[in-house]
């Protein structure tokens, strides 16, 4: 299978003087060897310096030297396509964390030496477009075939962020930490707190929205000893479940299966990355409180393992975990309601219950909750992957009420009452609150019905003048005739 080199990039590489030692590197080579789509093309150029590289590329379009400290020149061609070009560099460790380096560019660096500074062997491969061959100095192709994630050299330990990068790579490509790499990661486990907040979140987010087998990323953290930095997740390991309902094993095993199941749902795959990530975190944390509440009871003469109230208790724990990985507030606001309501389909389903559920989920939706519920149910092998009837029924009722993808909105608004002389203030707020509660209970579905409810409810703080105005106006008080 030939490397999918775009014609435009081929012309740039073959027709630009000074680019005779240019190689495709990193993710584009890895994805090609895996048979995956190649979307980003990164080129490393030898035998030149940074400024000369930028000058050579300028004839093809706009060059942005946004990555000067890393030797990166971004070329945006006249066709609108963008490519990253780099010159090789040497990094010297000068301080803690992924920023504790000094960088020196050297036109004399050979490809093997440059490849050695890459994190994992699968990312150290290069492709020579002139010879049409792969330069694989550290066995990346072998590791891809055998499913190993292996560090390139001992310099790996200089940047602890590489462990979290390993987590998301393992999840994205279903890889396992090579034993010697796992040992190396364990040796730097106490450097986790050196990592920048935004970089921790970046790697977790990539795991959440790009993984094809997320459980492999979780297993990578477990194998490398880094799961301890996320105690809410680590506590799942060994938390037992009733084997009749959960034949697959403990809560950690179940959670991994659920995360994997989510990636197989077409509805999840069709979502934008931000939404995919949010649902993945909801599935990851849906049983996060089970370690706190799980215990054994005897029922009907048989001992059972139960976890009462874990969904309600899970909301704060899920939020604590998301805060630990520095998730944005927008993500946390979506995940919490999904966790605390992930068993709602097991309750009696009525129109009232569906309206209340849609309200509790806001800003999430019943449609999104159904994804989490389905993944939860699918994560119990060898039990069959069948969407529960209770979930199907819940979604159908939500569709009938037009509540699958939105929370109910108040029918009666302040402006309706102000038009009849109700002055803004606390009492107006109380009336609107009571009206919305009545709406959720099913006491009215239209403005005309809201008018009738107002006049028939005696204990509302409704001024006499407003009540009289509403009475004189009749059912068309709010501009909507009764039916």
Q: What is the mean pLDDT of the chain?
A: 93
pLDDT tens column, 393-428: 999 999 999 999 999 999 999 999 999 999 999 999
Q: Is the pLDDT of residue 26 over 80?
A: yes
DSSP annotation of 402 reads T
pLDDT tens column, 237-252: 999 999 999 999 999 9
Residues 138 and 200 in one domain: no
Work out the average pLDDT over 260-264.
Answer: 98
Residues 96 and 219 in one domain: no
How distant, in Å, are the alpha carbons of 98, 236, 360, 459 from that of 327?
Answer: 20, 21, 21, 45
Residue 476 CB coordination number (10 Å): 12
Q: Is the pLDDT of residue 444 over 50?
A: yes
Collapsing DSSP to helix, strand or coil, 88 comes out as: coil
Give a yes or no: residue 218 inside a domain: yes
Residue 476's pLDDT is 75
pLDDT tens column, 269-306: 999 999 999 999 999 999 999 999 999 999 888 999 99
Residues 6+ apart with CB under 8 A from 54: 63, 65, 73
Binning pLDDT at 50, 70 and 90, where does residue 89 land?
confident
> What does the alpha-carbon distance between residue 170 and residue 75 come to, in Å, rounded to a whole number?
30
End of a domain among 197, 229, 261? 229
Residues 386 and 346 in one domain: yes
Residue 102's pLDDT is 58
Residue 410 CB coordination number (10 Å): 13
Q: Which residue has the tokens 């059972």?
A: 304
- Token code pair at residue 86: 């780099």
Residues 335 and 302 in one domain: yes
Give a yes or no: residue 102 inside a domain: yes
Residues 66 and 207 in one domain: no
Strands 22-25 and 42-45, sheet pairing: antiparallel
> What does the alpha-carbon distance between residue 321 and residue 332 come to, in Å, rounded to a whole number?
10
Characterise 118 by phi-psi region: left (phi > 0), alpha (psi -120 to 50), beta (else): beta
Binning pLDDT at 50, 70 and 90, where does residue 320 land?
very high
Spatial CA neighbour of 382 closest among 289, 268, 248, 215: 248
Spatial CA neighbour of 255 closest among 314, 172, 333, 177: 314
* CATH number of the domain where residue 103 is located: 3.30.460.10
Residue 482's pLDDT is 37
Residue 7 CB coordination number (10 Å): 7
Give a yes or no: residue 168 inside a domain: yes
Residues 225 and 324 in one domain: no
pLDDT tens column, 344-400: 999 888 999 999 999 999 999 999 999 999 999 999 999 999 999 999 999 999 999
- Token code pair at residue 109: 């660096």
Residues 286 and 399 in one domain: yes
* Range name among 105-114, 176-185, 290-299, 306-315 with the lowest pLDDT average: 105-114
Residues 173 and 215 in one domain: yes
> What does the alpha-carbon distance between residue 84 and residue 227 come to, in Å, rounded to a whole number?
34
- Token code pair at residue 475: 């059912």
Helix (H) or strand (E) holding 270: none
Characterise 410 by phi-psi region: left (phi > 0), alpha (psi -120 to 50), beta (else): beta
Collapsing DSSP to helix, strand or coil, 327 comes out as: coil
> What does the alpha-carbon distance between residue 175 and residue 353 come to, in Å, rounded to a whole number?
43
Give a yes or no: residue 70 inside a domain: yes
How distant, in Å, are the alpha carbons of 4, 53, 57, 298, 318 from that of 61?
Answer: 22, 13, 7, 74, 47
- Token code pair at residue 330: 């927008």
Residues 330 and 427 in one domain: no
Residue 481's pLDDT is 41
* CATH number of the domain where residue 221 is located: 1.10.110
Q: Is the pLDDT of residue 116 over 50?
A: yes
Residues 448 and 396 in one domain: no
Return the CA Rg of the chain. Answer: 29
The domain of 466 spans 414-476
DSSP annotation of 424 reads S
Burial track 436-474 (b if 16+ CB lie within 10 A, e otherwise): bebbbeebbeebbbbbbbbeeeeebebbeebbebbeeee
Most confident residue range from 116-120, 181-185, 455-459: 181-185
Give a yes or no: residue 234 inside a domain: no
Residues 367 and 274 in one domain: yes
Residues 6+ apart with CB under 8 A from 272: none
> What does the alpha-carbon distance between residue 78 and residue 60 come to, in Å, rounded to a whole number?
7
Give a yes or no: residue 2 inside a domain: no
Q: Is the pLDDT of residue 97 over 90?
A: no
- Of all residues in the chain, the percent with pLDDT exceeding 90 is 88
Q: Which residue has the higher pLDDT, 207 or 481?
A: 207
Number of domains within the chain:
4
Residue 70's pLDDT is 72
Residues 372 and 310 in one domain: yes
> What does the alpha-carbon distance between residue 78 and residue 63 come to, in Å, rounded to a whole number?
11
Q: What is the pTM of this model?
A: 0.91
- Token code pair at residue 43: 């080129």
Give a yes or no: residue 483 inside a domain: no
φ/ψ of residue 413, rounded to 5: -115, 160
**What torsion, rounded to 10 degrees, do the Cα atoms 475, 476, 480, 481 define?**
70
End of a domain among 171, 201, 229? 229
Give a yes or no: residue 38 inside a domain: yes
């Amino acid at each position: 299978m030939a490397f999918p080199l775009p014609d435009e990039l081929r012309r740039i590489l073959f027709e630009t003087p000074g680019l005779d030692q240019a190689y495709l590197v990193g993710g584009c080579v890895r994805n090609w060897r895996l048979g995956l789509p190649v979307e980003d093309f990164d080129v490393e150029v030898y035998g030149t310096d940074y400024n000369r590289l930028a000058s050579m590329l300028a004839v093809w379009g706009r060059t942005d030297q946004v990555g000067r400290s890393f030797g990166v020149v971004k070329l945006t061609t006249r066709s609108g396509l963008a490519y990253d070009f780099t010159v090789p560099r040497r990094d010297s460790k000068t301080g803690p964390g992924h920023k504790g380096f000094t960088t020196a560019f050297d036109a004399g660096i050979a490809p093997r030496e440059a490849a050695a500074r890459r994190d994992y062997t699968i990312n150290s491969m290069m492709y020579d477009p002139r010879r049409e061959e792969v330069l694989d100095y550290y066995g990346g192709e072998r590791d891809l075939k055998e499913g190993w994630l292996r560090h390139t050299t001992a310099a790996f330990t200089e940047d602890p962020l590489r462990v979290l990068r390993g987590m998301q790579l393992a999840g994205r490509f279903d890889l396992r930490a090579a034993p010697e790499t796992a040992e190396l990661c364990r040796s730097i486990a106490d450097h986790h707190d050196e990592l920048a907040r935004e970089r921790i979140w970046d790697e977790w987010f990539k795991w959440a929205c790009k993984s094809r087998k997320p459980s492999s990323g979780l297993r990578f953290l477990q194998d490398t000893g880094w799961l301890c930095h996320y105690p809410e997740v680590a506590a799942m390991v060994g938390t037992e479940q009733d084997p009749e309902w959960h034949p697959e094993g403990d809560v950690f095993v179940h959670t991994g299966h659920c995360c994997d199941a989510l990636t197989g749902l077409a509805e999840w795959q069709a979502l934008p990355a931000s939404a995919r990530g949010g649902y993945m975190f909801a599935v990851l944390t849906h049983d996060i409180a089970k370690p706190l509440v799980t215990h054994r009871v005897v029922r009907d003469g048989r001992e059972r393992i139960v976890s009462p109230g874990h969904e309600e208790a899970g909301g704060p724990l899920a939020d604590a975990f998301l805060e630990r990985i520095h998730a944005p507030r927008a993500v946390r606001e979506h995940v919490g309601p999904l966790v605390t309501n992930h068993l709602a389909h097991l309750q009696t389903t009525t129109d009232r219950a569906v309206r209340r559920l849609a309200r509790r989920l806001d800003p999430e939706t019943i449609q999104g909750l159904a994804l989490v519920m389905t993944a939860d149910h699918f994560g119990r092998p060898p039990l069959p992957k069948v969407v529960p009837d209770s979930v199907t029924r819940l979604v159908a009722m939500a569709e009938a009420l037009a509540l699958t993808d939105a929370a109910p909105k108040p029918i009666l608004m302040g402006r309706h009452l102000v038009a009849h002389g109700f002055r803004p203030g606390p009492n107006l707020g109380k009336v609107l609150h009571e009206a919305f509660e009545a709406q959720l209970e099913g006491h009215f579905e239209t403005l005309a019905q809201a008018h009738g409810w107002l006049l028939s409810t005696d204990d509302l703080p409704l001024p006499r003048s407003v009540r009289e105005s509403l009475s004189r106006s009749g059912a068309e008080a709010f501009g909507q005739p009764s039916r």
